[in-house]
Structure 1
Amino acid sequence: MPLTNVPSEGVRPIDHLLLRGDIDAPALDGRSGSQNYGELECSLGRLAAWLARFGLEPGARVASWIAKGPVAALMPLAAPRAGLVHVPVNPLLKHRQVAHILNDSGAALMIGTASRLSTLKDGDVPPGCEVHREDDAACAMTGGDALGPSDAAPDDLAAILYTSGSTGRPKGVMLSHANLWLGAVAVADYLGLTPADRTLCVLPFSFDYGQNQLFSTWISGGCVYPLDYLTPRDVLKSVDRRDITTLAGVPPLWVQLVELDWPTEVAAKLRRLTNSGGALTRPLVGKLRAIFPGADLYPMYGLTEAFRSTYLPPALVDSHPDSMGSAIPFAEILVVRPDGSVTADDEPGELVHCGPLVAQGYWRDPARTAERFRAAPAASRYGGMAVWSGDTVRRDARGLLYFVGRDDAMIKSAGNRISPTEIEEAAVAVDGVAEAVALGVSDERLGQAVLLLVRASPGDVPAIEKRLKADLPNFMQPREIRALAKFPRNPNGKIDRAALAGEYAS
């Protein structure tokens, strides 16, 4: 895909990111200590050299399932510097999901914390995949030779991020150096980040949104503070102790944070709040405004397949609180009819994302790639491949977008995209369960919670709960399981999911 409207310095390999900062300026701070840009670049080079010594072929996949610290922060840069492809694994996943990612990606190397590695079972790690502890990687960063910056091409594959789909197991989104570099430039630009900024990284680095906390701050010369928080109060304390200026979150986190008693002087330290992973409600916007009057609020909409699509400038939040905003830098957002023609103002249509932020498709999955990644509409100034989101939106006369509905059955809970099929497959593996349907139901804290309907007897519910707790991560656990004697059917004999949703999820 030809790159246009690229900054004057052009697209560089993502592992060059730290070279943009002042070598004496703070780059990473946390429980493991503080490093400036010069020190962090040296740590990056040593970690990359350690990875290179395994002798893996170029483009081999390296998975990481580790705590949020220096190793986790540098792996997205170190693997590409070593000519490898990084596959970050969500720390909340359990062994079955991790096994799928390892096998699907064909990972040749797995780095994990000892406690997480101990949960893996026989057969979870594919043949030929070496497993090493996070401690080994951390030790490698403290001394030895360092590998210099890579000469990767913009379209070279740098990472595979796994995201759930509405059907089947998680699929790997292929991201190039250009995707990651331009995403960092774009966000840093519209957020107005500077070397004086300190970003509290509370989101998992396995998410594109979480990973960009690092990249957009570093490309601006600022400092990141990774935090694996246990309670919302940990976030408040960190904002105070570390003089945090920038905080990225998802709606469920904001709901919890506004319930805290924020001292005025602590709230005043935050200069910008960013949100994605679900829409902010008007009442929540009002509470955030009241608690953080000096902070700019940036509602955003994104797709892992294209990183980020739109943002709403802070100046428009009060007057247009329901809007998704308009395209971020390097993104072209079209609203089209089924025939691909552009809709009129206020006419609903499908959101299509065009331009250099579009990913390279799904890893080893041409069928699902063809469904989502298709030729750009004729009206696109970029052409090439585009992401057809499946989301229905409308565009008003001034170009602001508004979300109308989602075409697929994805459940969005606490910022996580949950595949109903994955929950259903785990449920029907229990003896006595004939069929299962997972639905998203409204939840004030989570955005959506999972309701699981099963065709089984009420006496089977405890066994289902036990199985799901063993096989699925906490964020996939149903809030409620209901046993039904029968499911409604459509004329084709399939389960009528729309009828079930209308009766139980309304």
Structure 2
Amino acid sequence: MTPLPDPAVHPLDHLALRGKRDAPALVLKDEVLSHEGLNQRVGQLASWLAAQPGAEPGARVATWLGKGLIACIMPLAAVRAGLVHVPVNPVLRRAQAAYILADSGAALLVGNAGRLETLLPGDAAAAAVHDEAAVLAALDAQQPLPPSAALPHSLAAILYTSGSTGKPKGVMLSQANLWLGAISVAHYLGLAADDRVLAVLPLAFDYGQNQLLSAWAAGACAVPLDYLMPRDVVCAVARHGITTLAGVPPLWLRLIECAWPDHAAQTLRRLTNSGGALTPDLVRRLRTLFPAARLFAMYGLTEAFRSTYLDPALINAHPTAIGTAIPFAEVMVVSDAGTAAADGEEGELVHAGPLVAQGYWQDDARTAERFRPAPSFSQMGGIAVWSGDRVRRDAQGLLHFVGRRDAMIKTSGHRVSPQEVEEAALATGLVAEVVALGLPDAALGQAIHLVCRAVPGAGEDDAALRAAMAQDVPAFMLPRAVHWRAALPLSANGKHDRAGLYADLYHALTGRA
């Protein structure tokens, strides 16, 4: 591992200044930017942003875009203009984008024409809407703004992530959160200036956004890719000489089924996984297919960006471990009694240190639940993220994921709120009651199952329900299976008996209790 780079916190837009001036920094479909060109474009976009009506200091600018120039440089340009970036996942539909725009109070929205045309009157709330093509056309005429002097604690971005109940919540990330996250990852991955990082994950996710930020922190080159088929990823690795590829388990399962040219498989130096656990079989197959690549298993949550990673030298012997704390993080296992858990004892993962986010945007109640003072035995102290995830530490000091306390469904690398799926099903008018559950699935991690009671006279039609839901939610939120019931069981407190339904379906699918 290379020495830890200077951890001093600078404004996030200074990441555009770290690479060699004439070295490639960003490879797009129609142009390649050097690090000098990256800084130039960041400055020009920042200048355009600052000139827009409503672009007061701290105002939110939202993007609803694929991985073009604007989406890639907005995290830095917004900071340079004194604004806060709110990326909207491009796979989200109109209603979900409208909720994020309204909740964040976005003053500006930049999107492509196709997505903007789906918005109904009032969907953009108070945001001034700008077409991506028009913004690109305006950049050359802008005099670039110089690098900013934003303070480390100032708000840089709001990333929306689904909760176990209710609507998505906006995680507030500071300059320091994102800067130190980029430095940390660049360090433990061993990224260097000659690396090329293929950015296939959505830039609206912290894991996806860090593909760019950590590459630029190392002076390396990022190659963003919106892909339709796994074969597109293979071709991009071969075409661009990619050395670093980040993924989630469902993507790895599809990629290992592709035919990989020998030279493409050999160029990869490192693979990184988060968003779901690796299995021993998947580890073995990845190590066989990419023998020259180091495989990093990682664990993270948007509220603290990244918490742990496993040294690749240990993954063959410990394929299911999530490792130890990353640089700048303190990770503790807290027992149910509030003490430091003993080796082998299950407890809650609690993360302290400068990577901890600033809480949830305009949601004091949920902030107070998750962001609480660190336990008394913490070395870093301060406010910590109490993850709700259950882990245990083995005798070698490695952490192992046990399970999630909440009911979040993790499917195809996405965190899905059961309540949001249930609301979409109810909105169709075809079901009177519904419970959404995540059941184990080899390809998806978890598959969404709905248990429903039909509206009288509507009939029990799986296809009709899926088709109606598809009008309002993305494909990854559609149910894999629908189970119709004459009545849904209730627990003692009068709520739907989720645990009982899960146990029944799990037994039916696996034959195990």
Q: Map 1:33-112 onto structure 2 (within 5 A).
A: 33-55=31-53, 56-112=55-111
The answer to whether the 8 A contact 1:340-1:378 is kept is no
Q: CA deviation at 1:455?
A: 1.3
Give the secondary-structure state (helix, strand or coil) at the position aligned to 1:470: coil
The answer to whether the 8 A contact 2:7-2:180 is kept is no
The answer to whether the 8 A contact 2:5-2:187 is kept is no
The answer to whether the 8 A contact 2:353-2:384 is kept is yes
State the partner residue of 1:400.
398
State the partner residue of 1:447.
445
The answer to whether the 8 A contact 1:430-1:463 is kept is no
Give the secondary-structure state (helix, strand or coil) at the position aligned to 1:459: coil
State the partner residue of 2:191.
193
CA RMSD for the aligned pairs? 1.4
The Cα offsets for residues 473-496 of structure 1, whole Å up to 9 and x where unpaired, read as 111011122221111111112111
Question: 2:162 pairs with 152, 161, 164, which one?
Answer: 164
Q: CA deviation at 1:445?
A: 1.5
State the partner residue of 2:276.
278
Q: CA deviation at 1:34?
A: 0.6
State the partner residue of 2:511.
none
Distance 1:339 1:70 in 2: 50
The answer to whether the 8 A contact 1:323-1:402 is kept is yes
Q: CA deviation at 1:93?
A: 0.2
The answer to whether the 8 A contact 1:335-1:352 is kept is yes
State the partner residue of 1:488.
489
- Bigger drift between 24-33 and 353-362 goes to 24-33
The answer to whether the 8 A contact 1:113-1:133 is kept is yes
The answer to whether the 8 A contact 2:428-2:469 is kept is no
State the partner residue of 1:321.
319
Structure 1 gap ranges (5+): 1-5
Aligned-residue sequence identity (percent) comes to 59
Q: Map 1:155-304 onto structure 2 (within 5 A).
A: 155-304=153-302
Give the secondary-structure state (helix, strand or coil) at the position aligned to 1:318: coil
Give the secondary-structure state (helix, strand or coil) at the position aligned to 1:252: helix
Distance 1:263 1:8 in 2: 38
Q: CA deviation at 1:293?
A: 0.3
> Partner amino acid for 1:475?
F
Structure 2 gap ranges (5+): 508-513
Distance 2:444 2:6 in 1: 42
The Cα offsets for residues 92-134 of structure 1, whole Å up to 9 and x where unpaired, read as 00011001100000111100000011111223111x3100011
> Partner amino acid for 2:492?
P
The Cα offsets for residues 143-181 of structure 1, whole Å up to 9 and x where unpaired, read as 321111111000000000000000001000000000000
- Bigger drift between 442-451 and 415-424 goes to 442-451
- Bigger drift between 332-341 and 343-352 goes to 332-341
Distance 2:266 2:192 in 1: 18
- Bigger drift between 265-274 and 455-464 goes to 455-464
> Partner amino acid for 2:100?
I
Question: 2:415 pairs with 417, 420, 425, which one?
Answer: 417
Q: CA deviation at 1:454?
A: 1.0
Q: CA deviation at 1:263?
A: 2.0
State the partner residue of 1:339.
337
The answer to whether the 8 A contact 1:324-1:400 is kept is yes
The answer to whether the 8 A contact 1:433-1:460 is kept is no
Distance 1:432 1:323 in 2: 43
Distance 1:331 1:497 in 2: 35
Residue 466 in structure 1 maps to residue 467 in structure 2? yes
Distance 2:495 2:480 in 1: 25
Which TM-score applies when normalising by structure 2? 0.96
> Partner amino acid for 1:495?
H
Q: CA deviation at 1:459?
A: 3.3
State the partner residue of 1:114.
113
Distance 1:91 1:371 in 2: 29
> Partner amino acid for 1:266?
A
Q: Between Structure 1 and Structure 2, how many residues are aligned? A: 501
Q: CA deviation at 1:325?
A: 0.4
Q: CA deviation at 1:463?
A: 4.3
Distance 1:237 1:502 in 2: 43
Runs (4+) off by over 4 Å: 6-9, 460-463
Q: CA deviation at 1:464?
A: 2.6
The Cα offsets for residues 369-414 of structure 1, whole Å up to 9 and x where unpaired, read as 1111111001111111100000110011221001111100000011
Q: CA deviation at 1:67?
A: 1.4
Give the secondary-structure state (helix, strand or coil) at the position aligned to 1:132: strand
Question: 1:426 pairs with 424, 429, 443, which one?
Answer: 424
Q: CA deviation at 1:8?
A: 4.2
Q: CA deviation at 1:297?
A: 0.2
- Bigger drift between 276-285 and 143-152 goes to 143-152
Q: CA deviation at 1:136?
A: 2.0
> Partner amino acid for 1:15?
D
The answer to whether the 8 A contact 1:310-1:325 is kept is yes
State the partner residue of 1:137.
135
> Partner amino acid for 2:190?
G
The Cα offsets for residues 267-317 of structure 1, whole Å up to 9 and x where unpaired, read as 001000000000111111111011100000000000000000000011000
State the partner residue of 1:388.
386
Distance 2:470 2:500 in 1: 28
Give the secondary-structure state (helix, strand or coil) at the position aligned to 2:44: helix
State the partner residue of 2:510.
none
The answer to whether the 8 A contact 1:440-1:505 is kept is no
Residue 503 in structure 1 maps to residue 500 in structure 2? no
Q: CA deviation at 1:30?
A: 2.4
State the partner residue of 1:3.
none
- Bigger drift between 92-101 and 6-15 goes to 6-15
> Partner amino acid for 1:477?
L
Q: CA deviation at 1:139?
A: 1.8
The answer to whether the 8 A contact 2:343-2:395 is kept is yes
Which TM-score applies when normalising by structure 1? 0.97
The answer to whether the 8 A contact 1:354-1:382 is kept is yes
Distance 1:344 1:216 in 2: 34
> Partner amino acid for 1:480?
A
Q: CA deviation at 1:432?
A: 4.8
Q: CA deviation at 1:460?
A: 5.3
Distance 1:484 1:139 in 2: 56
Question: 1:374 pairs with 363, 372, 375, which one?
Answer: 372
The answer to whether the 8 A contact 1:44-1:141 is kept is no
